[in-house]
Amino acid sequence: MNSFFFRILSVPACLAIQLILSRLMPGSGDALAAGCFIILFIGAELTLFKEDTSLQKPEVPSLFLSLAAGFSFCTALLFAMEAITIDSGILTSLESVSEFCLSKNASLTWSLTFFLLLPSAEELVFRSGLQKAMLERFGIPASMIASVVSFCLYGLIRDGAAGLFFCFFCGILASLFFIFYENAWVCISLHIGCSISLAFLYLRYFFNPTALLVIAGISFVSSAALIYHAFCIYRDSEDQEEEDDENEEDDDDEENEETEEHPLP
């Protein structure tokens, strides 16, 4: 099976199923759809496309780095919005979702769905699926645009303006980290960090705008440092690959020269 067409066509199919089940079965529909997507993508990646998978075992530090980057970036963004009073309706909507997930009225299934299953399923669909397919065929810019735009459309259809807002910033960051690592587990960890940041939105009521700006500034600096560190890892790995390729070419040239100087009888 062609991995490009599987990954591309699975995106609209998965989104249609998820949206339908979420409407027909509120709460449990999301968990059911997310679970099916996770099994489908992991099964396909580890069997049909195991030689070209983005589910290779990640390094543990990269998981913590991406988790911290997602959490600090979204925390900074949300607190900065509150401090300068930009569209508090979006913040209220995001906060209501996280509050329900953490409340006594929420089931364990719903909380796990919001903080774990949905981030995992969405990253498998949009990064391991769509972005990887586009990256191999059309390069970095096209793959990032396709991944972010489609993720934003999904967020808008699913949760309105609040979903669009969250998916736009989370999608850009996740797409960058997928370019850096080409590892779906790293993107899942980052997305979980973004989702966890929503649980801390209620803290905005305990600080004045100046304090919120200070917190946002510290978080932005932290996230920028983490993103830069991830970029340095990516740059070093690219340089190492180029060096390895050059060494292989030099070895081949030396072997060819030796063959020419000492031809076989």
Distance in angstroms (rounded) separating the CA atoms of residues 140 and 138: 7
- Of 240 and 173, which is predicted with more confidence? 173
Cβ–Cβ < 8 Å for 37, 113: no
Domain ranges of the chain: 3-235
Cβ–Cβ < 8 Å for 181, 234: yes
CA 224 and chain centroid, separation:
17
Average pLDDT on 56-77 reads: 88
pLDDT for position 149: 93
Q: Quick one: tokens of 37?
A: 């997507």
Could you report the per-residue pLDDT of 74-127, keeping only the tens digit for each?
888 888 877 776 555 777 777 776 666 666 566 676 777 778 888 888 898 899
Average pLDDT on 157-183 reads: 89
**Predicted structure pTM score:** 0.84
Could you report the per-residue pLDDT of 126-135, keeping only the tens digit for each?
998 889 989 9
Query: What confidence category does residue 27 fall into, taking pLDDT thresholds of 50, 70 and 90?
Result: low
pLDDT for position 248: 66
Cβ–Cβ < 8 Å for 132, 56: no
Query: What confidence category does residue 147 fall into, taking pLDDT thresholds of 50, 70 and 90?
Result: very high
User: How many other C-beta atoms lie within 10 A of the C-beta of residue 98?
Assistant: 20
pLDDT for position 192: 93
If you average pLDDT over every residue of the chain, what do you get?
80
Distance in angstroms (rounded) separating the CA atoms of residues 205 and 20: 36
Residue 197's nearest CA partner among 65, 72, 64 is 72
pLDDT for position 264: 46
For residue 172, pLDDT beyond 90: yes
Cβ–Cβ < 8 Å for 34, 195: no
Query: What confidence category does residue 178 fall into, taking pLDDT thresholds of 50, 70 and 90?
Result: very high
Cα dihedral across residues 81, 84, 88, 92: positive or negative? positive
Share of the chain above pLDDT 70, in %: 82
pLDDT for position 260: 57
